A = this chain, B = another copy of it.
Amino acid sequence: MSTATPFPILINGAWCASADPTGTFQATNPATGELLPGTYPVSGPQDVHAILTAAAEAKAAMRGLDAEVRAQFLDAYAANLEAAKDALVAAANAETGLPVEPRLGSVELPRTVNQLRLAAKAVRARSFARPTIDTATGIRCQQEALDGAVLVFGPNNFPFAFNAIAGGDFAAAIAAGCPVIAKVHTSHPTTSRLLAECAVAAATATGLPAGALQLVYRIAPQLGFEMVESPAVASVGFTGGRDTGMRLKEVADRHGKPVYLEMSSVNPVFVLPGVLAERGDALADEFSGSCMMGAGQFCTNPGFVVVPAGDAGAAFTTAVIGKFSAANPGVLLGKGGRDAISESIKTLTAAGATVRCGGNPVAEPGYRFENTILTVSADTFLKNPEALQTEAFGPVSLIVIADDTAQMAAVAASLEGNLTGTIYSAVDGSDDDAYAAIAPVLRGKVGRLLNDKMPTGVAVSPAMNHGGPFPATGHPYFTSVGLPAGIERFTMRCSYDNVRAHRLPAELQDGNPLGIWRSVDGDYTNA
C-alpha cells in the first residue's frame, strides 16, 4: 500500500475518504509502463455498505423527481465535460495510451457529450417510455424505472464513452430514472475522477438526488457480487471480458435481475469473390485500417474474415499481411490486455490456425503487440469452431479460407452470437447468389448486419444495435448504444388498470399533457 493519502470515493453524491481501504493503487501509463501520479483506494465492505444504503434511499428520491430535473442534469453534465475537455483528454491519454487526436479530443469526448444530450432529449420526449393506451379496456401502460439502482461496470477501452460514471450505461440509467453505482475501470481512475467531479457539480446545480451518483475505483470481486445481490441494486450494466461478465451474470440471473452484458465478439466479415475481383486491394486497405485502428481494441473490431480460396483470396491475404507487417504496433491499454492476446493466439494456433505475421508482444517499455494475421482453412474451422472463434482483443485477425459459397454459409452457421456481421459483395451482381445464401444465416447470429463497410464505427443512432445474441451480450432484445433504446434496458413494464385519472402519470393522462408520442388503440399519435 502506498503511503500517499488516497483520493476519496463518491458516496451518496459526496466525496468521502474510503472508510476501510484494503489497499491502494495507481494507474500505469501503458505507453511507458510507468506509474502515474494519484493514489486510489481499494474499497472494502464498509464503503460498499454505505453505498448500498444510500442507493436504497435514492430510489424513492429519483422516483419522486420531476423528469425534467434528470434532463437538466444530463445537459449540465454535458456542458461541464466540454468545459473540462483539456484536463479530461490529458488524463485519458496518459491512462489509456489512446491518442489525443484523432480520438479522445475530437471523437470520444464529443460522442460522450452527445450521448448525455441525447439522453436528456429522450427524457423530455419520454421516447423510451412507450406509453400505450387502450381505450376499450381503459388499461394504460408505459416503461418506468426499475425499482433500484443500476450497478455499472465500465470497460478499459473507452475511458469516456463507456465510462461507468459518464458513458452510455450511465446516461441510460439516469435517463430511465435509476440511481447509478459506478464501478469505474481500474485502469483509468483519474479520468473517472475528473468525470465524476463534473457529474457532481451538475447534480448540485440541478438538484439531482445525491444518492443518484456513487463511485468506487476498485473492490474485491466478492464485493462486486455482493452488490449485485443487494436489494438496493435492480440491474447491472457491464462492458468487458467474458469471464468476468459470465460471473456477474450468474449472480444477477440467480436473483432474477436484468443484467446487460457486452462481452466478446469477433465480428465476422465475409468477402465474396466478385468484390475481390473488383477491388481486392482497396478492401485489403480498408480492412487493415479498421482492424489496427485503436490497436484493435474495439468491441466491433473485425477479428474474423472469411475469404474465398484461390488466387484472389490469397492476394488479399498477402496484401493484408504486408500492411499489418508494415504498420507500427499501437499502444495497448495495459499489460493484462497484451498478455491476453498471447493467450488467445495460443488457443487459435492450438486449434489449427497459422500465424502469418506478428504473433508476439513488442519489447517493453510500454505495452504493445505485433499486428497479427492468422489463417485457417474453413475445413479446419468447421471441425473446431468454438476454439477458432476465440477473441484476441487487439490488432489481430483470423482469415478463414473457404472453398465455396456453401462452405462460407456453413461457417456462418457455426458462428456464436456477435455484435456485427459484414458482407462485402460485388456491385456488378456477381455475388448476389452467394449473398442470398449467406446473409439469412448470418442475420440470426449478429446484432448489426453491414454491407460494404467495416463494423468498427458505432454511430449513436436511434437505429443502432450495439447488441446481439449471446455471448456477444446477455440478451438479444436490447442495445447498449443508441437512444432511446439503450434506456429501455433499465425500465420495467408498468400497467395501470382502472387507476383513477388524477393518479395516472402525466405520460398516460387523457389529453396528452406532455405532447409526447403515444400508441393509442394501435396507432401512434402525439396529439
Interface residues of A (CB under 8 A from B): 59-60, 63-64, 125, 127, 132-134, 136-137, 139-141, 143-148, 249-250, 253-258, 417, 420, 435, 439-441, 443-445, 447-453, 455, 459, 461-465, 467-471, 474-479, 485, 488-489, 491-500, 503, 517, 519, 521-526
Contact = CB atoms under 8 A, between A and B. Distances in A.
Contacts of A469: 146-147, 256, 492
A453 B474 CA distance: 38
B467 A493 contact: yes
Given A465-B494, A476-B492, A503 B439 contact: yes
Contacts of A256: 249, 417, 469-471, 474
A417 B234 CA distance: 11
Contacts of A449: 494-497, 499
A440 B253 contact: no
A59 B440 CA distance: 11
Contacts of A489: 477
Given A147-B445, A503-B435, A497 B450 contact: yes
Kindly report how many copies of this chain are found in the complex they form together: 2
A134 B137 CA distance: 34
Contacts of A146: 444, 469, 476
Nearest to A254: B250
A20 to B, nearest CB: 29
Most chain B beta-carbon neighbours within 10 Å: one of A465, A493, A522: A493
B488 A477 contact: yes
Given A256-B471, A449-B497, A497-B448, A492 B463 contact: no
Nearest to A519: B462
Contact of A253 (B249, B477, B497, B521): B249
Contact of A132 (B420, B462, B477, B519): B462
